[in-house]
């Protein structure tokens, strides 16, 4: 805008300068007309505004510089004023005309620009459309009413092996086999006649076989509303058709499989609601197909299991979790079944949960079998746990796999302590291991059973005689094992030995009783004779000395008969509560005559222990007299005898253990082995029955007597007595 007005001022100024220059050469001329070109130029360049501005400036210049009076802003001559008015009119008219021309020019230029833009856009649109058409995976075409192709895309040309633009003007008969072309023409006529689009499946046979296309054909209308052409877009759906056929076949197989399946099958939607159940599923639950739909199946869950099943299912189903649970169902008539319900999620291509597919297996028989096995196992476990025998399972290397609690009662070792230990190295005495292991290997090799008897060691080192029955177990934890059942026959053998000894002693007793009766009579007669002989030889000291020696020999013989009779006679106990300390103190006091003139001391170490037990105090007095008498005889003065006591167990029952130790020379290995044998003695006097009688009395109390371990001073005798009912 400023540029146009500046150009108008410059045009007027340039005209003024030219007028002055020309008048200098040729003389004065008409002052107003010379400015019309400047007005015309300004109006042509800028339109009405700049033209009027140039007219006004030219009029002012003429009034001031050219028309008299020069240098003034008014005119005296009417003719000059008239010419000025005419000039102004001519300038306005020229400006208006030029404005019209300029507007027309602008419109023309705008139209030309629009036309070029439209052409460019059309070309671009056509290029884009062509690119879309040529890169489309579908076949696209246009045909006129006569069936001639007006447009085809590159896909059409490639599939039908037509050169670019080679199909234009041709018909279907020129491109396709006649049967195919006839079908296409019939479909095109239907679009032309009805004037509306159709979606049709058309089949074209190509080198690799028939292809099915989903063709959308539509009409193109002329300006008068008539159908002028047919357009079409055809998409190859052969793979989809094959997939649909495969899907239908798969669905048919699935339904056939579901119908014949021995397990229940069900489908759910994304919310976990049932949409399908097969006949077996309906049979297991006892519902119909309609009753199972939605959440209806849940009504057939056993009331005691329903809450936990539905809670688990409601948590897993919406998030696509896998479901697996065993529970009970309650069918019509109160029929209870156990089922194993499994379900896996189904996902869409976008990863969204669209449902679940699941199976239902009737496990009622398995559950009943498991319950029966559990009852049998519990029964067997109870039998094993309470059996009054050792139940032992060993692996092929002889290590303990399992053992029942009775082993603890026999040996004092708990089952958990010895599990995994070598049985033979831990419990079998060294001299018996080869025989025990041989029986174990024979049981493994023979795949049968055998019996063997050998002792085992207890925690405190004692031996228990066990009779074993061995049998191989196959398949336990994948390998062969040996089951050994052991019966503790220690007490039985001891009872048998006692019975045998009692029989022997009874025989000896009968013999001794008869011998004692006859001998007592003979000894009585001999005693009378000795007394009468003593009266006859009172004045002969040598004879009296011989008579005294005969009297002593006769007394020794009498005591010998009494000892043998006491050893052979049955032991009858009068049990009552008594204090062991009082008994051994009384026995020690009864040995006063033997201790007279000797230096001796008896030391007691009881540590405040309760020494009361059920026993026969008279018989135990005999035991302590025999032990203390031997201890006094074993050592020289000063004679020191120690008695120690502590608690223990005997055959699982509370007991007291007493240790009596002297400070003599101790026992030789032979003496340690034979000390309790009848008639064995190391003294110059005595029958050797004292310790044998002691052993019988202790065993009659249900106790044990043994020689202590060597290594301390002197000899040690160990007594173990049950406390009994105090």
Question: What torsion do the CA atoms of 127, 132, 133, 137 make, to the nearest 10 degrees?
Answer: 160
% of the chain with per-residue pLDDT over 70: 87
| 410 Cβ neighbours under 8 A, 6+ residues apart | 390, 456, 458, 464, 466, 488
On whether the CB atoms of residues 714 and 634 are closer than 8 A, the answer is yes
Q: Return the ∠ at Cα 74 (arms to 73 and 80), rounded to 5°.
A: 125
29/22 Cα distance (integer angstroms):
9
Q: What is the DSSP string of 243-300?
A: HHHHHHHHHHHHHHHHHH-SSEEEEEETTS-EEEE-HHHHHHHT--HHHHTBTGGGGG
pLDDT beyond 60 at 167: yes
Q: pLDDT for 470-528, tens place per residue? A: 888 765 455 678 888 888 888 777 777 766 665 655 555 555 555 555 565 666 667 66
H-helix or E-strand containing 476? strand 463-476
DSSP letter for 643, please: E
Q: What is the pLDDT of residue 383?
A: 79
Q: What is the pLDDT of residue 339?
A: 93
Q: What is the mean pLDDT of residues 572-600?
A: 86
Q: Which of 15-29, 158-172, 227-241 has the lowest mean pLDDT?
A: 15-29
pLDDT beyond 70 at 633: yes
Taking the CA atoms of 73, 76, 81 and 83 in sequence, report the sign of the dihedral they define: negative
84/90 Cα distance (integer angstroms):
10
User: Which of 716, 721, 677 lies closest to 697, judged by CA?
Assistant: 721
Q: pLDDT for 318-344, tens place per residue? A: 888 899 999 999 988 888 999 999 999
pLDDT beyond 90 at 561: no
The count of other CB atoms within 10 Å of the CB of residue 156 is 22
Q: pLDDT for 40-71, tens place per residue? A: 888 888 888 888 888 888 888 887 787 778 77
194/167 Cα distance (integer angstroms):
26
Q: Which of 232-236, 362-366, 654-658, 687-691 has the lowest mean pLDDT?
A: 687-691
Q: What is the pLDDT of residue 666?
A: 82
Average pLDDT, the chain: 82
Q: 202 pairs with which residues across the strands?
A: 213
SS3 169: coil
Q: Given pLDDT bands bounded at 50, 70 and 90, which one contains residue 229?
A: very high
On whether the CB atoms of residues 391 and 403 are closer than 8 A, the answer is yes
pLDDT beyond 60 at 188: yes
Tell me, yes or no, if the pTM score tops 0.85: no
> Which has more confidence, 166 or 43?
166
289/512 Cα distance (integer angstroms):
101
Burial 619-630, CB ≥16 within 10 A → b, else e: bbbbbbbbbbbb
493/137 Cα distance (integer angstroms):
102
Q: 479 pairs with which residues across the strands?
A: 476
Q: What is the pLDDT of residue 25?
A: 63
Q: What is the pLDDT of residue 518?
A: 56
pLDDT beyond 70 at 283: yes
pLDDT beyond 80 at 531: no
671/43 Cα distance (integer angstroms):
160
Cis peptide before 638 (omega within 30 of 0): yes
Phi and psi (nearest 5°) for 472?
A: -80, 140
39/33 Cα distance (integer angstroms):
10
Q: Round to the nearest angstrom and report the end-to-end CA distance of the chain.
A: 139
Q: Return the ∠ at Cα 182 (arms to 179 and 188), rounded to 5°.
A: 145
Q: Return the ∠ at Cα 278 (arms to 275 and 283), rounded to 5°.
A: 120
User: Which of 692, 631, 625 lies closest to 665, judged by CA?
Assistant: 631
483/61 Cα distance (integer angstroms):
143
114/709 Cα distance (integer angstroms):
130
694/624 Cα distance (integer angstroms):
8
Sheet holding 400-403, edge to edge: 400-403, 390-394, 479-488, 463-476, 449-457
The count of other CB atoms within 10 Å of the CB of residue 320 is 17
Q: Given pLDDT bands bounded at 50, 70 and 90, which one contains residue 572?
A: confident
100/566 Cα distance (integer angstroms):
169
User: Which of 721, 576, 584, 580 lies closest to 655, judged by CA?
Assistant: 721
SS3 673: helix
Q: What is the pLDDT of residue 720?
A: 92
CA atoms within 13 A on the CB side of 224: 2
User: Which of 138, 136, 152, 327 lies closest to 230, judged by CA?
Assistant: 152
H-helix or E-strand containing 329? strand 323-330
Q: How far is CA 275 from the centre of its chain?
A: 32
Q: What is the pLDDT of residue 669?
A: 80
On whether the CB atoms of residues 157 and 163 are closer than 8 A, the answer is yes
The count of other CB atoms within 10 Å of the CB of residue 516 is 17
pLDDT beyond 60 at 443: yes
On whether the CB atoms of residues 457 and 436 are closer than 8 A, the answer is no
């Amino acid at each position: 805008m400023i540029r146009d007005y500046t150009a108008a001022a410059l045009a007027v100024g340039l005209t003024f300068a030219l007028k002055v220059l020309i008048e200098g050469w040729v003389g004065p001329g008409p002052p107003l007309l010379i400015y019309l070109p400047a007005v015309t130029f300004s109006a042509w360049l800028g339109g009405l505004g700049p033209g009027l501005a140039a007219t006004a400036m030219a009029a002012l210049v003429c009034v001031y510089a050219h028309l008299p009076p020069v240098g003034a802003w008014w005119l005296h001559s009417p003719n000059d004023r008239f010419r000025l008015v005419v000039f102004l009119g001519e300038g306005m008219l020229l400006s208006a005309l030029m404005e019209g021309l300029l507007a027309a020019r602008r419109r023309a230029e705008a139209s030309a620009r629009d036309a070029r833009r439209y052409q460019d856009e059309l070309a671009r649109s056509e290029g884009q459309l062509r690119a879309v058409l040529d890169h489309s995976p579908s076949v696209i075409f246009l045909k006129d009413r006569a069936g001639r192709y007006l447009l085809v895309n590159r896909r059409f040309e490639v599939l039908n092996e037509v050169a670019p633009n080679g199909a234009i003007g041709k018909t279907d008969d020129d491109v396709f086999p006649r049967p195919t072309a006839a079908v296409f023409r019939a479909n095109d006529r239907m679009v032309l006649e009805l004037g509306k689009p159709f979606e049709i499946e058309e089949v074209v046979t190509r080198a690799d076989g028939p292809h099915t296309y989903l063709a959308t054909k539509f009409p193109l209308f002329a300006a008068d509303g008539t159908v002028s052409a047919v357009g079409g877009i055809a998409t190859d759906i052969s793979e989809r058709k094959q997939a649909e056929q495969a899907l239908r076949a798969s669905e048919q197989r699935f339904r056939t499989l579901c119908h014949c399946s021995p397990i229940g099958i069900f489908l759910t939607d994304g919310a976990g609601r049932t949409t399908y159940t097969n006949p077996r599923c309906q049979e297991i639950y006892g519902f119909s197909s309609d009753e199972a739909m939605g959440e209806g199946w849940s009504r057939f869950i056993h009331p005691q299991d329903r809450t936990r099943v539905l809670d688990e299912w409601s948590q897993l189903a919406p998030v696509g979790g896998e479901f697996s649970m065993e529970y009970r169902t309650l069918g019509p008539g109160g029929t209870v079944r156990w089922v194993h319900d499994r379900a896996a999620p189904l996902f869409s291509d976008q990863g969204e949960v669209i449902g679940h597919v699941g199976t239902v297996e009737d496990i009622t028989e398995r559950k009943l079998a498991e319950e029966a096995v559990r009852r049998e196992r519990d029964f067997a476990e109870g039998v094993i746990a309470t059996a009054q025998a050792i139940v032992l399972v060993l692996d092929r290397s002889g290590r303990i796999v399992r053992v029942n609690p009775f082993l603890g009662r026999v040996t004092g070792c708990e089952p958990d302590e010895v599990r995994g230990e070598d049985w033979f190295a831990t419990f079998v005495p060294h001299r018996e291991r080869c025989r025990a292991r041989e029986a174990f290997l024979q049981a493994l090799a023979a795949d049968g059973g055998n019996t063997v008897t050998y002792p085992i060691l207890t925690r405190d080192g004692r031996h228990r005689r066990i009779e074993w029955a061995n049998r191989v177990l196959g398949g336990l934890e994948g390998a062969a094992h040996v089951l050994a059942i052991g019966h503790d026959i220690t007490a039985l053998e001891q009872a048998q030995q006692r019975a045998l000894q009692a029989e022997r002693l009874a025989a000896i007793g009968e013999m001794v009783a008869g011998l004692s009766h006859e001998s007592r009579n003979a000894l009585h007669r001999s005693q009378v004779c000795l007394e009468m002989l003593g009266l006859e030889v009172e004045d002969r000291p040598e004879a009296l000395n011989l008579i005294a020696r005969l009297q002593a020999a006769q007394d020794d013989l009498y005591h010998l008969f009494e000892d043998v009779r006491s050893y052979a006679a049955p032991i009858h106990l009068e049990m009552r509560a008594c204090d062991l300390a009082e008994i051994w103190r009384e026995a020690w006091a009864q040995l006063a005559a033997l201790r007279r003139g000797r230096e001796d001391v008896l030391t007691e170490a009881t540590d405040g222990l309760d020494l009361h037990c059920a026993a026969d105090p008279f018989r135990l007095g005999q035991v302590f007299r025999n032990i203390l008498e031997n201890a006094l005889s074993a050592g020289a003065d000063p004679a020191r005898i120690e008695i120690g006591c502590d608690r223990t167990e005997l055959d699982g029952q509370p007991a007291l253990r007493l240790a009596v130790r002297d400070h003599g020379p101790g026992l030789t290995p032979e003496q340690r082995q034979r000390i309790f044998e009848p008639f064995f003695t190391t003294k110059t006097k005595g029958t050797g029955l004292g310790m044998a009688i002691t052993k019988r009395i202790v065993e009659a109390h249900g106790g044990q007597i043994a020689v202590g371990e060597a290594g301390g001073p002197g000899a040690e005798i160990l007594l173990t007595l049950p406390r009994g009912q105090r």
